[in-house]
Amino acid sequence: MSGIASRVLAVLLLAGASRLGAGELDLSLRDGVPWLEATGGADRRLVLERSEGLRGLREWREVARVSDRLFPYADGASSGRAHGFYRLAASAAGADDDWSNQLVVPGSALWLPGAGGGLAATASVKWSIILDAADRVYFQDSEAYPYHLQFARARLPGYGAMGPVAFGQQSLYPGEGQRMVLGSVFRAPDPAVREVGIEISGAVAFPIEPVAGWLETVRSRLAVPDGWRVYYMPSVEQRDAAEAARDWLADRGIVVSGLERWAEENTCYSEGWALGKLVWLKASEIPAALADGRLGLADILVTDRVPSELPALAGYVSLAPATPNSHVVLLARSGLLPMALAAGDGLRAELESLAGREVLLVVDGSGGGCRIRLQDTTGQLTDERRREILAMKQGGPLAVVPRRSRGKLVVPADSLTPADVAFTGGKAAHFGFLRRALPDHSPHPARAITFDLWDSLMTRERPGGGTLGAFIAARLARHVYPPQIAALREDLAVIRDAITASDFTASERAEVMAELWQAGLHGARIRFRSSTNLEDTASFSGAGVYDSFSGCLEDDADGDASGPSHCDPGEASERGVFRAIRKVYASFYNENAVLERLRFGVSEAHTGMALLVHFSVPDEEELANGVATLELQRAPTREITVRMVSQAGADPVTNPESGATAEVVVASYAGAAVEAASLVLAEPSSLTAPGETVMRWTDDYRILLGQLEAAAQAWEAFFPGSQPVELDFEYKKQRPGVIGLKQMRPVPRPEPIPPPEIP
């Protein structure tokens, strides 16, 4: 033995040592803390124990359990003690040796290898700390146990019968009820990059002081070779707190970073080109910058991340990954607006140097990879040449199917087709494909509220005279494109308030309630989803510019206005269906929706809001959600490429708000041989450990592919021909193995416009 100090002794138990290959146990004191180290051998379990007085077997307490070798291990729990004894037992590794209190970097068998290329190749290991023994970290075999709860049930005392809700309550929230802390360790996907990152998992932000302590504990349990760098890579929920305390953490030797530091390639979300002023803004500054003129609708935006909503600008460059197939991305693609992730310090420095200058931005994904080209055009163009270039991108007016009266307020959704867009809007009309192709795997029962109810509300007399429709028209009359944003926002707020303050007639309320009740839409919250005749069409997506709301039929049927809600006792006030309908109607005058109508010169007299209605899925029941695009090449042979973009839980892929990046899985197959489809994990979700997938691999993805194929065939039967098609779907996973489609629409495919030549 070496390094013996004070009255702390190290004892090596040599039972079977020659057979097991156990080596010497070394102990030293550093600032009053015992540090221990021992060699072992391949396929060995080493158990380190401590005793205060050697008075009996029960005096020995397990300090650490590792495999093969005990790297320098600090026993902080014994710091400052006057005396103590240690012993090390070595035995053959068994089936239950699927965890360790030390993680060897990079070579431990506990690492879950990544799948795919780029960030998807990042390896990871999950860890847990029980706060009553906060000096000990449990690193789990993350391939055998993909989730923390699985490992805790199998290996941690007291957790064998714990359910997911109770486990989350005592591990994901700060406060007196917290008993554990959970997290992951990531390893750079490029083996030449000697870096690891530590993440802490939580449903909300933890106070930064205990976070720092947990990070230091986990860091101390990593057996990291010299020259490796360790970073704190906060999860989405911890990111703001980490950024606010970045300097304080740095003083403690904790450097804040993120997985994006390992991204090596640009990403093209929407190909195209733009000419405009390059404006740098944080995402949080965009709304104010639009109002005060720092950002114009003809500018090219460079931002730290892509928010859940953006107006149509000339182009977009993000410095953080965006969600493919989010509403913002779909809108950019439908308008040939360039949008890309810029990776690499050199490109970012170039973008920064061009801030405030006129540039030509070209986003090109041809030939594989993604190329972002920037050309400074400041002072090089005459006014006439600039007008010529900008005119190249101006399309004609949108092909809008004017709304028409159906003669009924509510109709079944199952039989709807695109021929019904004039009566029920695009979302409801296309929903019929899902009901017929997937009757058990699409929301049901489902009804559509026609434009008839909207038209009737627009004729409602307002206090002081005049109809609601005339009042709205007068408010919008002074706005042309591009509008003065601050003035437009003021008018739109007044319009939305006027709509939510209006009401329906007694006969309209009775008819709607009777139709929904007879359809079986009672006993739980129902969702009212926007369905206009200016969305989900072959010429315009309109994705994400309107809102959906939930309501409870019983709250309107009980004859009073007092809460709580019948469908949600946690809601102190009632949440009736007509309240939800008015709120969806008001979203017809959301800022981005009106900007699009002004941009394309769409007449308000031809458009309006209908509704798709079905049961709501509570967030707490949602295991995953996603958006899939299916590209269908029909000639000379049928070729399918599917891009499935998924996110864990209810964090929405379509309008992401947390800044989390989603998982991307790509599949392809020929003919209708969906069972033979190849599956590739192209990008991981930031809410799961790298190497894991949002849904069960590969079973859930093949179930989803089968549903997408059935819906695509229904579309092809209605629209025969040989032209290529791209379809966009939204889906949810509620229970293991149970996945369903909730939306289907065509993706506009405008003809690309070659970028201009500027000397």
pLDDT tens-digit readout, 569-592: 888 899 999 999 999 999 999 999
Q: Please, are residues 450 and 410 in contact by the beta-carbon 8 Å criterion?
A: yes
pLDDT at 324: 72
pLDDT at 118: 59
At 661, the pLDDT band (50, 70, 90 cuts) reads confident
pLDDT tens-digit readout, 458-513: 999 998 899 999 999 999 999 999 999 999 999 999 999 999 999 999 999 999 99
For the record, the structure tokens of 755 come out as 């970028």
Q: Please, are residues 185 and 196 in contact by the beta-carbon 8 Å criterion?
A: yes
Long-range pairs for 154-160: beta carbons < 8 A, 24 or more residues apart? 155/96, 155/98, 155/99, 156/128, 156/130
Cα separation, 119 vs 729, in Å, equals 25
pLDDT tens-digit readout, 689-710: 767 899 999 999 999 999 999 9
Q: Please, are residues 264 and 234 in contact by the beta-carbon 8 Å criterion?
A: no
pLDDT tens-digit readout, 140-153: 998 888 889 999 99
Residue 713 identity: Q
pLDDT tens-digit readout, 26-52: 888 888 788 999 876 777 889 999 887
At 287, the pLDDT band (50, 70, 90 cuts) reads very high
Mean pLDDT of 442-459: 97
Q: DSSP characters for 670-723?
A: ETT-GGG-EEEEEE--TTS-TT--SS-TTHHHHHHHHHHHHHHHHHHHHS-SSS
2: pLDDT strictly greater than 70: no
How far is it between the farthest Cα atoms of the chain? 99
Mean pLDDT of 360-388: 89
- Mean pLDDT of all residues in the chain? 88
CA angle 172, 176, 178 (to 5 degrees): 30
At 198, the pLDDT band (50, 70, 90 cuts) reads very high
Window from 73-87, 341-355, 699-713 with minimum mean pLDDT: 73-87
Question: What pTM value is reported for the model?
Answer: 0.66
Window from 41-55, 205-219, 224-238 with minimum mean pLDDT: 41-55
pLDDT at 54: 61
23: pLDDT strictly greater than 60: no
Share of the chain above pLDDT 90, in %: 61
Side-chain-side CA neighbours of 410 within 13 Å: the count stands at 20
**Which of 656, 680, 657 has the alpha carbon at shortest distance from 667?**
680
pLDDT winner (highest mean) among 235-244, 319-328, 643-652: 235-244
Q: Please, are residues 34 and 49 in contact by the beta-carbon 8 Å criterion?
A: no
Residue 587 CA, chain-centre distance (Å), reads 23
User: Phi then psi for 486, rounded to 5 degrees?
Assistant: -60, -45
Cα separation, 224 vs 230, in Å, equals 9
